[in-house]
Each structure stands twice: as structure tokens, then as C-alpha cells.
Amino acid sequence: MPEDSLNLRVLDRAMVIGLAKAKGFCTSQQLRKYMFAATDHIGPRVVKGVLRSPAYWSIYHHIGRANMSVIHPSGASFLAWFKNPKEDPRLINGESPIYRSQVKSLRDVMSKDEFRAAVDARKIIFSKTSPRDGSAKFKGNPFFSNDPSGGMAGFNEEVGQVAREEASKAVGAMLQRTGLKKKTVIRTI
């Protein structure tokens, strides 16, 4: 049906706009890299567009940590980072894990001797674990939010304009197929 193709054209353009807005607002290079737009078929003639990020930690980046604690490795009394992330054996090709199942403790990837050598070479930075009471706040980067200060601000207005443009094109094409001129139809309306 013609209206289905019109709806899908509007949806496709809306997803391109939405993804560009979210990626442009997001401050994490890794999240931007893995964000994607997809369609979900939720009925025989009902399709919705969704923007997604597969990273389990994207929620922390999006809404911040004001009311939630950071996930601590089991039994950890401190957090450790490598000064040079390329030397961190827990990272995958230099990037943070995307899925929670990929998260590894230093105990899993280094022997005690390797750990001591890295500490002695001052390659590792230590800090106490962040308090579980939420006092270690991170404001967040609401890249999927429609609020005026969010990454999707103005999205609805832009998609409304896209819908008008696509509808105008569809009506013009339909009139052309029937032999009527657009000016004639406008005068009769």
C-alpha cells in the first residue's frame, strides 16, 4: 500500500535524524561507535524505530550515577586503572567491555608477579571504590532524552517537517500518475 511506503520512508529518515542527534550529543566515543537504529515490527502493519546502545554501562553514561552505585568487582577494596589504557589486559582491543559477561578482574588476567611489576613500574592508578551511597555523582549525558537539554531536543519538530515533505512528494507523485496538476488540485481545495 502506498501509505506503508510513505510511513517507512518517514521512519527511515526519522531514524537517521535521531541517530545523528544522539551521536552528536553523546560524549563517549565508544558509545557513539556502537549506537545504532533499528526497526521493531510490533504488529502486521505496525513498525517502530528504536535507537539502541548495546553497552551494559550506557545507562550510567545516560542518566548518571546520582542514585545508583558503580558496579564493583566482587570483593574489591579498591579500583585500579592503567595509566595507558592500551596496556590494560582487561580491555578488548583497547575498548571497555560492551557486555557484562566480558568484564574481567585483574586477578583473571594477570598473575601476582605481573601485577606487582605493573605497580612497581607505576603503570597502575589506584582509588578507593566509590561510595555506595551515591555521593560519587556523575551528572549524566542524556543523549536519548527529548528534554530541551537532551540529545533529542527538537527531534519531534524535525520529523514533523520530514513527514510533511514526504507526504507532499507522495501526493505530487500520485497526481502525476493521474494526470492532474498540483496547481489545479490546490485551486479546487
- Give me the DSSP letters along 42-101: EETTEEEEEEE---TTHHHHHH-STTSPPPPPTT-SEEEEESSGGG-TTSBTTB--SSGG
**Cα end-to-end distance, the chain, whole Å:** 25
Cell of 185: 488540485
Report the C-alpha gap between 149 and 102 in whole angstroms: 33
What are 66-100's pLDDT values in tens digits? 544 445 555 556 677 788 888 889 888 878 888 88
What pTM was estimated for this model as a whole? Answer: 0.66
What are 2-29's pLDDT values in tens digits? 557 888 889 999 999 999 999 999 988 9
